[in-house]
Amino acid sequence: MPDAPDDKPDPSDDKPIDRRRFFRQGLRELFKPLAKAIDPFEQTARQLGAFSAPHESTASATSRPVPLKLWLRPPGAVKEVDFLNTCSRCGTCATVCPVQCIKIDSTGESGAGAPYINADSAACALCASLACMNSCPSGALVPVPLLDIDMGTAVWKEQSCVRETKSEDCTICVDHCPLGTAAIELIAGKVVVKPLACVGCGVCQHDCPTDPKSIVVIPKSARES
């Protein structure tokens, strides 16, 4: 088992909200329509206007740039554009990751050739050493405190959750969160993600028993301008 934080942060801690966290505060409402999507990354791109609408002419559609796929990056990743330009693709972050969740696709088809995480396959364990960000030689991953990690934000897809479809008392996403109730909890029978605390590690998505997943992480690049 990989190292994990010994203590779950106290959700009552009064911590100043910096500029980045301020913008995260409204994410739950912003991403709520995306929770119905089978592929949350593609749907996010559509919401951001990255894809051409179906009714557009072929000429106008082909004249548009190829849409940027939204990938979940390792903790400490700088802004997506800067990340892609700064990362040397050396593979150090993938090598030191204790759970081997960080992948690099040399073909460039996945992650645009840069380190990425597929939470369905393996999620970030928020290891005690935060090895990837503390070992990155290029500056694409910048060391930050555990509670300031911002990989993305989890979104609960209520319509496919077994709590709703089968009336099962499933609390896996809540119980397995490395940050505990500081980031996610059950309120009045509903799964509530707290965007100020959720770091987007993907453990909830990975451990969710439904197919497709009923809780998914929207990468932080979805809200970058």
Rounded to whole angstroms, what are the CA distances from 160 to 10, 64, 164, 178? 30, 34, 7, 23
- Does the pLDDT at position 44 exceed 70? no
- Model confidence at 225, pLDDT cuts 50, 70, 90, reads low
pLDDT at 30: 52
Please name the helix (run of DSSP H) or strand (run of DSSP E) that holds residue 14, with its range, or none: none
Residues 131, 115, 222, 44, Cα dihedral to 10°: -130
1 domain-assigned: no
Give the per-residue pLDDT at 54: 36
Residue 14 lies in a domain: no
Q: Is the pLDDT of residue 14 over 50?
A: no
- Whether residue 130 lies inside any domain: the answer is yes
Give the per-residue pLDDT at 53.
34
Give the per-residue pLDDT at 223: 85
| pLDDT value of position 24 | 53
Could you tell me if residue 4 is inside a domain? no
Query: Can you tell me the distance from the alpha carbon of 141 to that of 73, in angstroms, rounded to the nearest whole number?
Result: 9
pLDDT (0 to 100) of residue 144: 96
The region of weakest confidence among 14-18, 138-142, 144-148, 178-182 is 14-18
Grade residue 69 by pLDDT with cuts at 50, 70 and 90: confident
6 domain residue, yes or no: no
Q: Average pLDDT, stretch 50-70?
A: 41
The CA distances from residue 83 to 24, 59, 162, in Å, are 20, 32, 37
Tens-place pLDDT, residues 101-137: 999 999 999 999 999 999 999 999 999 999 999 999 9
Q: Does residue 154 form part of some domain? A: yes
Q: Distances in Å between the alpha carbon of 77 and those of 105, 140, 163, 170, 177?
A: 17, 6, 34, 32, 21
Q: Check pLDDT > 90 for residue 3.
A: no
- Residue ranges making up the domain that contains 29: 19-223
Torsion on CA atoms 105, 110, 116, 122, rounded to nearest 10? -90
pLDDT band at 206 (very low <50, low <70, confident <90, very high): very high
Write the single-letter amino acid at 138: S
Our count of domains for the chain comes to: 1
Residue 12 placed within a domain: no
The verdict on residue 59 lying in a domain is: yes
Instruction: Name 153's bridge partners.
Output: 218
